Structure 1
Amino acid sequence: MIKFKITYIFHNCFVLDVGNLSIVFDIPAQRFRMRRTLSALEEAIRGRDVVVFFSHSHLDHFAPDYMEVCGCAKSVKAVLADDIGEMYQNDFFENALVVEPDEKYFFENLKIETLMSNDLGVAFMIETAEGLKIYNGGDLACWDWDNSSEAEQKFAKTFFENAADRISEFGSHIAFSNVERRLESLAGGPLLVEKVQPHIFVPTHALGRTEWLEGLHERLGIKPCRYFNYRRPGDCCTFKVTPSATLFERG
């Protein structure tokens, strides 16, 4: 049985505590951080060993000052998509791993596999030392906008379906994936749930507009006990999973 805690910070930024490690995703730049956002992050990582994953360089997903922001942590390492590496000087990346799409890495006792995003950067498939498997999509999603051509919409859906097949093979216990209320497809959320069948689904990319996430599990086709519903920075929930079985517990 693996026990872990997920804390919502803002937008695509979440903290996942498993064992002695805090895995942090996509801390946003200062322009996207309110005081309560920063406070929630500091409270979640204070005194912890931290590995921060950044999926790409868009500032709603990447904080150039992340070392300063995470200053209250016991230690900080980072995994950064290669487009970030192209934008910043090499000496910026102390204690960091720069990753490319469709590659495998081992870093800080984490097995990491990357997927190419159809937006920018990468998505992550991560396995912890405890055997917990995590998918975090960054901005990989089914971006089938109404104003796109039929060919563009078909490409977006096919690209995301192929990615979902790979994520399904990985066997994610947790899936952090975009939902978009302006899209009938919810940016592929229901498709991902159907193909991957994660123990827990975490909706992302709400840009602070979280009210509409209430009850979204019904449209996603997932039970409420397997859906992390959050409203404000610092909201958290503790879960338990049995990796070798489909049994799901929430505590």
Structure 2
Amino acid sequence: MKIKITYIFHNCFVLDVGKLSIVFDIPAQRFRMSRARSALEEAVCGRDVVIFFSHSHLDHFAPDYMDVCGGANSVKAVLSDDIEEMYPDIFFENALVVEPDQKYVFENLKIETLMSNDLGVAFMIETVEGVKIYNGGDLACWDWESSSEADQKFTRDFFDKAADRIAGFGSHIVFSNVDRRLESLAGGPFLIEAVKPQFFIPTHALGRTEWLEGVHERLGIESHKCFSYRRAGDVASFDILLSGA
């Protein structure tokens, strides 16, 4: 099945699957340069959109998301419950509020959540066509050298268990944080080895994307299976082989 992906900024991407556009973690205005907003508006224009927000940090959540996606044909949202708690004055219309380690069905999407080791949740999503997508939000292997050995072990064990669930889900497409400040790249290579996705999208670059050129080699994945974007609006198209197809 043909899939199209558009990079917007940081952890924000638009994934076109059939007639649906799945959008992840639109950031707040302070993180959106005009180019990023324009790329997002163009990507969702006239589309039926479901936005997934992993948590309330402003590099992942835009309180004005309905305005930003105003050109879409329809807009629904899936939000981690910490967002509802953080923004009690916002009326989340056409939205599903989710908790960690639960299962839901929303807009013909099957959704499983994982507890993050940062804030909020990670998502495992299955579309009506059978495309399986993992988006980690800020769930990653944050094994900072400055942390104690006990904390590093806890982090790695937590991420190992999450990787087992993601692998068991059978994710075709994986979005996961890849942080150059960490020798482990925040667990990107480990997750790829465990899950063996058909396509991998490194996230959490905060706009510093130059270093992603050639990052597939450090991740241990072929270049055509890794989205090495550079600027807002960069697009990749790829085919996903579905079981039984």
Which TM-score band applies after superposition, normalised by the shorter structure?
over 0.9
* Shift, 1:89, TM fit: 2.2
- Aligned equivalent of 1:75: 74
> Residue 190 of structure 1 aligns with which residue?
189
Match in the other structure for 1:40: 39
Instruction: Tell me the residue number matched to 1:214.
Output: 213
Identify the residue that residue 98 of structure 2 maps to in structure 1.
99
Establish whether residue 153 from structure 1 lines up as the match of residue 114 from structure 2.
Answer: no
Aligned: 1:170 with 2:165: no
How far has the Cα of 1:186 moved from its partner?
0.2
Partner SS for 1:80: strand
Distance 1:90 1:196 in 2: 39
SS state of the match for residue 177, structure 1? strand
Could you list the structure 1 runs, at least 4 aligned residues long, displaced by more than 4 angstroms after superposition. none
**Gap runs ≥5 in structure 1:** none
Q: One-letter code of the match for 2:97?
A: V
Give the length in aligned residue pairs: 245
Deviations 1:21-78 (A, max 9, x none): 0000000000000000000000100000000000000000000000011101010000
1: CA distance, partners of 2:91 / 2:10: 24
Q: Which residue of 1 aligns with 2:86?
A: 87
Q: How does 1:218-229 map to 2 (within 5 A)?
A: 218-229=217-228
Deviations 1:83-134 (A, max 9, x none): 0011122752110000000000000010000000000000000000111000
Q: Following the alignment from structure 2 to structure 1, what is the Cα–Cα distance between the partners of residues 48 and 17? A: 11
Is 2:127 the partner of 1:128? Answer: yes
- 2:29 matched to 1:30? yes
Map of 1:242 onto structure 2: 241
What one-letter code is carried by the residue in structure 1 that aligns with 2:218? R
- For residues 5 and 180 of structure 1, what CA distance do their matches in structure 2 show? 24
C-alpha RMSD of the superposition: 1.1
Q: TM-score, normalised by structure 1?
A: 0.96
2: CA distance, partners of 1:210 / 1:135: 21
Which whole-Å CA distance do the structure 1 matches of 2:42 and 2:213 have between them? Answer: 25
Aligned equivalent of 2:5? 6
Counterpart CA distance in 2 for 1:241 and 1:90 is: 41
What amino acid sits opposite 1:6 in the alignment? I
Q: Secondary structure at the match of 2:111?
A: strand
Return closer, same or farther for 1:91/1:206 CA change in 2, 3 Å cut-off. closer
**Structure 2 residue matching 1:187: 3-state secondary structure:** helix
Percent of paired sites with the same residue = 77
Q: Secondary structure at the match of 2:8?
A: strand
Partner of 1:137: 136
Amino acid at match of 2:212: L
1:200-239 Cα shifts (integer Å, max 9, x gaps): 0100000000010011111111011111110000001111
1:50 corresponds in structure 2 to 49
Residues 145-184 of structure 1, C-alpha deviations (whole Å, 9 max, x = no match):
0110000000111100100000000000000000000000
- Report the Cα distance in structure 1 between the residues aligned to 2:127 and 2:83, rounded to whole angstroms: 24
Structure 2, unaligned runs of 5 or more? none
